[in-house]
Amino acid sequence: MQQSQLYHHPTIATIYNNMGSAYTSIGEYSKAISLYEKQLEIDQKYLLHNHLDLAISYNNIASVYVKTGDYLKALCYCQQAVDIGQITLSSNYPDLQLFRRNLECIRKKCKTFT
């Protein structure tokens, strides 16, 4: 396997996710977003367009944008998580409920700042 292919392997996406989570927990939000976006790029290449892992990736990115105060970007990413969740999950599935709650909170924050 060539080195460039290695950096886009699905297993690497998990590593990017874990690193993004670690950077989020220490407040390094720009690094976290960069890593989550790398994960998302790989997942988009290898997973179906409505795969739950994509929704989780979108939700993770949205959560970091909330922490940075960029509610419009957070809203966009969270909406994508909800859209995928509504296709993939039953309405009472905990992840879908989480995505919806997050979306509602972000919408409220957007209204507060507009």
Q: What CATH number belongs to 3-112?
A: 1.25.40.10
pLDDT tens, residue by residue, 32-82: 999 999 999 999 999 999 999 999 999 999 999 999 999 999 999 999 999
> Which phi and psi angles does 27 have, rounded to 5°?
80, 15
Residue 112: the pLDDT is: 81
Asked if 15 contacts 47 with a C-beta cutoff of 8 angstroms, the reply is no
In three state form, how does the secondary structure of the chain look? CCHHHHCCCHHHHHHHHHHHHHHHHCCCHHHHHHHHHHHHHHHHHHCCCCCHHHHHHHHHHHHHHHHHCCHHHHHHHHHHHHHHHHHHCCCCCHHHHHHHHHHHHHHHHHHHCC
Q: Where are the domains of the chain?
A: 3-112
Token reading at 26: 């220490």
The token pair that represents 77 in the structure block: 């990413």
Which is nearest to 32 in space by CA: 3, 1, 70? 70
Closest CA to 31 of 15, 44, 19: 19
Computed over every residue of the chain, the mean pLDDT equals: 92
Query: What pTM, to 2 d.p., does this model score?
Result: 0.89
Query: Would the pLDDT of 1 be above 60?
Result: no
